[in-house]
């Protein structure tokens, strides 16, 4: 397939390009400098020239806390930018995958969130990503909205890399233990997207690594596996703490766990358990470091 990827220099975008190329697709990846998604004419021209069969829309404004004071830019990228890519994809008859987030929910539910549960974003970031979903649903005839959570990978900054660094530098590390979710390895997500895009099974999907944990439990696993499997010298003593002890400008969902009903009922392979995904990442990370 001819695939166009936005946000191709980002954490997920780089792995999407890599995985899709490995599977034999003809992939054209655009980063922010090459394709300004907020420019409708530019989006139309580039998509029109390449004539992709599918657009994987990874580009997004993801600075969760900054979005609280930079509302216009968050909506410009996540809402208007998404609309532009949808219109460009529609014009050439391409399928579109819009990467969304657990932040479209308020995080107050006791149970995991289903694909068609009521959304109620609490942050500007979450609201702007939900706006992108609405525009995709409204304007696109062949779409996949894929909500994911707690994403990390080899490229760019993320929670796993930060905890690895702090775990080797600090004597003590406090990590929030009252927010739960599903860590998602970019390579596992990219493989799911590659399977999804070859079908006509359009709609909303929740795609994260299986199972769930708190940020504290995730950090425990990161440090433990690094020490046991790769002899990393961990100096930090890990301690759980509450959300209130670490106030942030943007509200974080207490419960980010998402049910994968659409994956199951449409016959797709679910993403592997988050612990296995973490171990795969650590192997890739330490192999690259050598």
Residues marked active site are found at 125
Token duo for residue 35: 């394709």
The Cβ of residue 158 has, within 10 Å, a number of other Cβ atoms equal to: 17
The full DSSP string for the chain is: -EEEEESTTSHHHHHHHHHHHHTT-EEEEE-TTT--TT-HHHHHHHHHHH--SEEEE------TTGGGT-HHHHHIIIIIHHHHHHHHHHHHT-EEEEEEEGGGS-S--SSPBPTTSPP---SHHHHHHHHHHHHHHHH-SSEEEEEE-SEE-SSS--HHHHHHHHHHH-SEEEEE-S-EE--EEHHHHHHHHHHHTTS---EEEE---BS-EEHHHHHHHHHHHHHHHH-----PEEEEE-GGGS--SSPPPSB--B--HHHHHTTPPPPPBHHHHHHHHHHHHHHHH-
Region at 275 (left for phi over 0; alpha for psi -120 to 50; beta for the rest) = alpha
């Amino acid at each position: 397939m001819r695939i166009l990827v936005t946000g191709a220099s980002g954490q997920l975008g780089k792995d999407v390009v890599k995985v899709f190329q490995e599977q034999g697709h003809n992939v054209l990846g655009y980063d922010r400098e090459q394709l300004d998604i907020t420019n409708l004419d530019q989006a139309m021209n580039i998509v029109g020239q390449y004539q992709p069969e599918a657009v994987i829309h990874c580009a997004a404004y993801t600075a969760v806390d900054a979005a609280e004071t930079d509302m216009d830019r968050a909506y410009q990228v996540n809402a208007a930018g998404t609309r532009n890519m949808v219109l460009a994809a529609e014009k050439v008859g391409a399928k579109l995958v819009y990467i969304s987030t657990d932040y479209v929910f308020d995080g107050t539910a006791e149970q995991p969130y289903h694909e068609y549960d009521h959304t109620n974003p609490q942050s500007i970031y979450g609201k702007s990503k939900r706006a992108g979903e609405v525009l995709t649903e409204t304007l696109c005839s062949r779409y996949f909205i894929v909500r994911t959570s707690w994403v990390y990978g080899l490229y760019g900054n993320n929670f796993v890399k930060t905890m690895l660094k702090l775990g080797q530098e600090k004597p003590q590390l406090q990590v929030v233990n009252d927010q739960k979710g599903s860590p998602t390895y970019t390579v596992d997500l990219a493989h799911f997207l590659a399977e999804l895009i070859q079908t006509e099974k359009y709609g909303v999907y929740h795609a994260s690594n299986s199972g769930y944990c708190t940020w504290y439990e995730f950090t425990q696993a990161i440090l433990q596996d690094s020490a046991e499997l790769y002899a990393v010298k961990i100096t930090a003593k890990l301690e759980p703490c509450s959300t209130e002890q670490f106030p942030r400008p943007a509200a974080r969902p207490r419960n980010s766990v998402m049910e994968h009903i659409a994956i199951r009922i449409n016959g797709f392979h679910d993403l592997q358990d988050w612990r296995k995904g973490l171990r795969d990442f650590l192997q890739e990370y330490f192999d690259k470091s050598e």
